[in-house]
């Protein structure tokens, strides 16, 4: 048996593969020695140390609360905004604006100068200012298109209401000639003020090829919010608008007066009405009086006159009338172009009450009512002794 076991051992050793020895890196040619690994790499770990579930390390995230708590912050923000808008700003903003430094940063609101319930404006090219609420009454003067007036009595009588003009004339006008919509003449709602300097101007519905909206007369005030080449877009009563050409109008700043010019421009304006129809108290090409002519012509040339002859007799400065010492005749040269000449009634030689008036257009020539009382004409007084004797006063409104 012993021999048999030895036999099988020897066979096993013969067929067993040889044991391969792992070479030492230090013994391998062409390689550098590997640094030894420090620490506990590969060492067994205690699971309790890594995955400890003790109280001090354990925590569980709480689920978010729902309901009222989620709505609390938005509700507080909303309430804060409401308080800011409806209590803080209305109470404190006006006080802050009073501070000059803050007020300069805030654009001022448009200031309305026609805020009274009695404010009215004329919506016809001209309306008659009558002494009584009757078409047969005497005409004091006229008020022009866009002119503001104040109601004294809003109760119509024969279609007339009583008003007061800006220069203090109290009269009756047709109620239908007035409007209470004042936006078209509120200066701060517009950019330019225009004064019509021609005898008349047409306001058209379009800048070109439009229809006629209204014809306005000399000294009418218009307000514009737009200017193009050769035309202005103008505001009209009752929310309407139109276009007017730039020729024959004076552009001004909203509150600026017309600049005073030389007397020759005044005379030129006066002469544009020669041979037109005479109308007592009239101020337009459709009919005018000499006081009305003087009023509109002076206004567009920078001089403000009263509308009536009595008022104009006190305007300007008194001009000295000189007479020849030998003949006693009037020295014609003492009355200058642009002077207003007041005359007595032809049948009242000793009266100093003015019966009519004239305007000197050149030395020795007056513009006055014709003898037929139908037109305004030029009359020479240089050789007309009868006319010279009627002169009672001369007022100089241009230097």
Question: What gap in Å lies between CA 61 and CA 55, rounded to an integer?
Answer: 15
**Same-domain pairing of 152 and 202:** no
Mean pLDDT, rounded, for 342-371: 95
Strand pairing of 170-174 and 160-165? antiparallel
Is residue 394 domain-resident?
Answer: yes
Mean pLDDT, rounded, for 340-369: 95
**Same-domain pairing of 198 and 171:** no
Q: How far is CA 75 from CA 64, 84, 314, 353, in A?
A: 19, 14, 75, 85
pLDDT of residue 274: 97
pLDDT of residue 83: 74
Strand pairing of 148-157 and 231-235? unpaired
Q: Which residues contact 118 (CB under 8 A, 6 or more apart)?
A: 150, 151, 152, 154
pLDDT of residue 103: 47
Q: Which residues of 274-307 are buried (b: 16+ CB within 10 A; e: fewer)?
A: eebebbebbbbbebbbbbbbbbbbbbbbbbebbb
pLDDT of residue 384: 92
Mean pLDDT, rounded, for 28-45: 53
266 in Cβ contact with 182 (< 8 Å): no
**Same-domain pairing of 151 and 204:** no
Q: Under DSSP, is residue 77 helix (H, G, I), strand (E, B) or coil?
A: helix
pLDDT of residue 138: 96
Is residue 328 domain-resident?
Answer: yes
**Same-domain pairing of 171 and 203:** no
Is residue 25 domain-resident?
Answer: no
Positive or negative, the Cα torsion across 41, 46, 47, 48? negative
| pLDDT(85) > 80 | no
258 in Cβ contact with 252 (< 8 Å): yes
Is residue 205 domain-resident?
Answer: yes
The string of pLDDT tens digits covering residues 264-282 is 999 999 999 999 999 999 9
Stated as kind and residue range, the H or E segment containing 89 is helix 89-97
246 in Cβ contact with 328 (< 8 Å): no
Is residue 380 domain-resident?
Answer: yes
**Same-domain pairing of 124 and 193:** no
**Same-domain pairing of 167 and 189:** no
Strand pairing of 376-380 and 283-284? unpaired
Report the C-alpha dihedral over residues 176, 182, 183, 186, rounded to 10 degrees: 140
The string of pLDDT tens digits covering residues 125-155 is 999 999 999 999 999 999 999 999 999 998 9
| pLDDT(107) > 50 | no
User: Residue 121 — pLDDT band, cuts 50, 70, 90?
Assistant: very high
**Same-domain pairing of 266 and 374:** yes
The string of pLDDT tens digits covering residues 58-75 is 455 555 555 556 677 777
Is residue 51 domain-resident?
Answer: no
Average pLDDT, the chain: 85
Mean pLDDT, rounded, for 103-116: 68
Domain final residue pick, 196, 228, 252? 252
Q: How many helices (H) and strands (E) in the chain?
A: 9, 22
Domain final residue pick, 252, 275, 295? 252
More confident position, 112 or 231: 231
The string of pLDDT tens digits covering residues 181-238 is 999 999 999 999 999 999 999 999 999 889 999 999 999 999 999 999 899 999 999 9
Q: How far is CA 317 from CA 11, 168, 320, 398, 399, in A?
A: 160, 22, 10, 9, 9
What percent of the chain is predicted at pLDDT more than 90? 67
Question: What gap in Å lies between CA 287 and CA 280, rounded to an integer?
Answer: 8
Is residue 361 domain-resident?
Answer: yes
**Same-domain pairing of 191 and 263:** no
Write out the two tokens for 72: 């609390």
Find the CATH number of the domain harbouring 310: 3.90.1720.10
More confident position, 85 or 280: 280
pLDDT of residue 233: 97
Q: How far is CA 173 from CA 17, 307, 378, in A?
A: 140, 16, 32
Q: Which domain holds residue 169?
A: 119-180
**Same-domain pairing of 395 and 262:** yes
Check: pTM over 0.75? Answer yes or no: no
Query: Which of 294, 389, 396 has the alpha carbon at shortest distance from 335?
Result: 396
Is residue 222 domain-resident?
Answer: yes
The string of pLDDT tens digits covering residues 279-338 is 999 999 999 999 999 999 999 999 999 999 999 999 999 999 999 988 888 999 999 999
**Same-domain pairing of 200 and 337:** no
Query: Which residue bears the tokens 């506990």?
Result: 40
Question: Picking from 80-84, 253-257, 333-337, 386-390, which range would have the lowest pLDDT averaged per residue?
Answer: 80-84
Number of residues written out for the chain: 399
**Same-domain pairing of 272 and 394:** yes
| pLDDT(97) > 70 | no
Domain final residue pick, 146, 180, 214? 180
What's the structural domain count of the chain?
3
Find the CATH number of the domain harbouring 207: 2.30.30.40
Mean pLDDT, rounded, for 349-376: 95
**Same-domain pairing of 337 and 385:** yes
pLDDT of residue 81: 79
């Amino acid at each position: 048996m012993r021999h048999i076991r030895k036999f099988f051992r020897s066979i096993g050793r013969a067929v067993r593969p040889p044991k391969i020895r792992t070479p030492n890196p230090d013994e391998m040619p062409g390689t550098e020695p590997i640094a030894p690994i420090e620490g506990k790499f590969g060492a067994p770990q205690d699971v309790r140390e890594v995955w400890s579930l003790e109280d001090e390390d354990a925590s569980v995230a709480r689920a978010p609360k729902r309901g009222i708590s989620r709505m609390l912050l938005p509700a507080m923000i909303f309430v804060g905004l409401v308080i800011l808008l409806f209590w803080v700003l209305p109470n404190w903003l006006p006080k802050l604006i009073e501070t000059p430094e803050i007020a300069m940063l805030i654009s001022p609101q448009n200031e309305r100068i026609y805020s009274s319930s009695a404010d009215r404006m004329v919506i016809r090219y001209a309306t008659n200012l009558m002494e009584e609420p009757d078409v047969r009454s005497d005409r004091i003067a006229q008020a022009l298109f866009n002119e503001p007036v104040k109601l004294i009595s809003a109760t119509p009588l024969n279609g007339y209401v009583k008003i007061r003009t800006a220069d203090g004339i109290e009269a009756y006008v047709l109620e239908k000639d007035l409007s209470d919509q004042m936006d078209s003449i509120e200066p701060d709602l517009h950019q330019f003020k225009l004064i019509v300097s021609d005898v008349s101007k047409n306001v058209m519905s379009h800048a070109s090829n439009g229809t006629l909206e209204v014809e306005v007369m000399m000294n009418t005030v218009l307000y514009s919010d737009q200017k193009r080449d050769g035309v202005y877009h103008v505001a009209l009563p009752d929310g309407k608008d139109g276009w007017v050409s730039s020729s024959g109008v004076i552009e001004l700043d909203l509150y600026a007066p017309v600049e005073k010019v030389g007397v020759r421009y005044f005379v030129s304006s006066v002469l544009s009405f020669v041979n037109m129809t005479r109308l007592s108290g009239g101020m337009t090409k459709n009919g005018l009086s000499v006081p009305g002519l003087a009023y509109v012509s002076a206004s567009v040339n920078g001089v403000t006159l009263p509308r009536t002859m009595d008022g104009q007799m006190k305007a300007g400065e008194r001009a000295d009338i000189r007479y020849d010492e030998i003949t006693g005749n009037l020295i014609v040269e003492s009355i200058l172009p642009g002077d207003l000449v007041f005359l007595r009634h032809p049948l009242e030689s000793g009266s100093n009450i003015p019966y009519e008036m004239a305007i000197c257009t050149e030395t020795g020539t007056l513009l006055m009512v014709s003898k037929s009382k139908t037109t305004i004409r030029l009359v020479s007084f240089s050789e007309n002794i009868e006319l010279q004797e009627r002169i009672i006063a001369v007022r100089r409104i241009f230097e």
